[in-house]
Amino acid sequence: MPVGEIRISDPDRTAGGRRRGEFRYARAYLNHPEARALDPVHLPLAPNVFSASAPESGLHGVFEDSLPDSWGRALLIRQHHLARSNQHPAYLLDCLGANGLGALVYSSRDEPPTPALSVLCGTEDLIEAAQRYERDPSSVEELHLRALFQAASSPGGARPKLLLEDQGRSCLAKLASAHDSYDIVRLEAASLALARSAGLDVPNFRIATFGRHTALLIERFDCANGGRRHMLSAQTLLDARGWYQLGYVDLADSIRAVSDAPERDLPMLYRQAVLNAILGNTDDHLKNFSLQDTDVGWCLTPAYDLLPDVLNRSEHVLHFGSTGHCPTQAALTALGRAFGLSAFRADSIRAEVAAAATRWIEFCDQAGVPKNQSLHFARDIERRLAH
């Protein structure tokens, strides 16, 4: 069933190429007994015409959430031979069609788009094609290029990744990059294992070997019961664009307002804030937090994109309150109060995460992280636990 219609103006050359964008729900969708708002904050279920607040794209944030970031976007542009003038987000959505993450599909025609065909070559060949493409896009032959388009043009993020089937389950395969200074694949597996031990909800994952290549296979949580779940990033909920100065309290406020299970989601979000602080997961931007529309309503998704500070940034994207972007144990205590948690509950969560963090070397050994790398980040974790 069509959910609604997006309309976007041509760029206004007298105003820096800005676009006016609108969305309205289809009448049949509004009348459906199971209709749900695509964005309960900015696009509530109503017959209104909703104007977008993003003049660069003309799109509401929930639709931009569907688009891949640099890795998948580059493939999408190459796949459809898009000139620079046709690379704006609205046109990319039409190219993406039914192949994005989450439940939404897009079409500029009256009929729904068809999903991509199955992958045309083996996984090992596909991984090698992805790595060659990252180094030199012109070096990938046509057969592998078509297969790569089908498997890799929709996932978000800046790193190479593929959508695969693993033992009958839809998975995201995260690959090594030619630019990696660390074994990111195994470090992320260790980070997910630490998070699971610390009580976070994380997706099923495993390290898989395909010939000479290693990949981290993560079960997709937007796929369930033969269908797809609609997702909404925290960046969209908070209408944050470009550079923003927001923190975990802002994120908690949005979860409190939208979640249908805040009594579960707020403690879980606090647990992740503590984990990010101790692990040094400084890449904690708002697109790395999402809600999904489940059978029981809007709920926080499992945690994803967890890593120690592999880029040596030191400062987090989100601030932790009075200490800013460099959290201390005192700041985490104050953050628990701001989340509305009792002192006992917040203390218990911090203790559980800290206990799991002391097992970092164990998780790294299980994931096969090179010892010099696991020890490097272990020293950072020990310093944060004492700070």
Per-residue pLDDT reduced to its tens digit, 49-80: 999 988 788 999 999 999 988 888 888 888 88
Measured CA to CA in angstroms, residue 83 lies from 1, 19, 94 at distances of: 32, 18, 15
Question: Is residue 206 within a helix (H) or strand (E), and if so which, with residue range?
Answer: strand 205-210
Name the nearest CA neighbour of 102 among 77, 66, 67.
66
Name the nearest CA neighbour of 369 among 237, 252, 240, 207.
207
Question: Is residue 252 within a helix (H) or strand (E), and if so which, with residue range?
Answer: helix 248-258
Query: What span, in angstroms and rounded, lies between the C-alpha atoms of 387 and 384?
Result: 5
CATH classification (class only), 123-133+153-219: alpha beta
Per-residue pLDDT of the chain (387 residues; tens, 9 = 90+): 899 999 998 877 777 778 899 999 999 999 999 999 999 999 999 999 999 988 788 999 999 999 988 888 888 888 888 998 889 898 999 999 988 889 999 999 887 776 654 454 678 888 888 888 888 888 887 777 777 777 766 676 678 888 888 888 899 999 998 889 999 999 999 999 999 999 999 999 999 999 999 999 999 999 988 789 999 999 999 999 877 899 999 999 999 999 999 999 999 999 999 999 999 999 999 999 999 999 899 999 999 999 999 999 989 999 999 888 999 999 999 999 999 999 999 999 999 999 999 999 999 999 999 999 999 999 999 999 998
The Cβ-side half-sphere exposure at 50, using a 13 Å CA radius, reads 25
According to CATH, where is 3.30.200 located in the chain? Answer: 123-133+153-219
